[in-house]
């Protein structure tokens, strides 16, 4: 399921399906968080028996996107190239030749010791 602002156009939904290789269903009610809260509140108030069956009953689908195998293959190739470039860039950071623009809080990269060639 893909909901929210990104689901309002077909492009992001199709890209998500192509990249993951999975079908992507877009609900009629795009603001799924609000609908989910209403279902949770109704269940908590005793109006509904349980959230799962109520969701199945109340959620209707606008459209389903299926993966395009050719696009999936292209995304897989691009991901492989990106992973290679990313690993190479981390190696440059580890060797001290460059620095990262950003580092996740709490993440510590171990410095790789680069030995100098023996004379």
> What is the tens place of the pLDDT at every residue in 82-108?
999 999 998 998 898 988 887 777 776
Q: Which of 67, 91, 109 is the last residue of a domain?
A: 67
Asked whether residue 119 is domain-assigned, the answer is no
Please identify, among 27, 52, 67, the residue that sits at the C-terminal boundary of a domain: 67
Rg (CA), the chain: 23
Write out the residue range of the structural domain in which residue 4 sits.
Answer: 1-67
The reply to whether 6 and 40 lie within a common domain is: yes
Record the pTM: 0.67
For residues 39 and 52, give the distance between their C-alpha atoms in angstroms, rounded to a whole number: 9
* Residue 22 reports pLDDT greater than 60: yes
Pick the range with the lowest mean pLDDT from 23-37, 41-55, 104-118: 104-118
Q: Are residue 10 and residue 59 in the same domain, yes or no?
A: yes
């Amino acid at each position: 399921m893909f909901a929210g602002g990104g689901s309002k156009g077909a492009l992001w939904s199709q890209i998500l399906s192509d990249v993951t290789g999975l079908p992507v269903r877009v609900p009629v009610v795009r603001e799924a968080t609000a609908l989910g809260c209403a279902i949770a509140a109704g269940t908590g108030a005793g109006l509904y028996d349980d959230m799962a069956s109520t969701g199945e009953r109340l959620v209707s689908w606008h459209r389903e996107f299926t993966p395009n195998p050719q696009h999936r293959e292209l995304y897989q190739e691009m991901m492989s190239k990106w992973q290679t470039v990313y690993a190479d860039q981390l190696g440059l950071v580890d060797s001290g030749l460059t620095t990262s623009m950003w580092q996740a809080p709490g993440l510590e990269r171990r410095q790789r010791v680069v030995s100098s060639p023996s004379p």
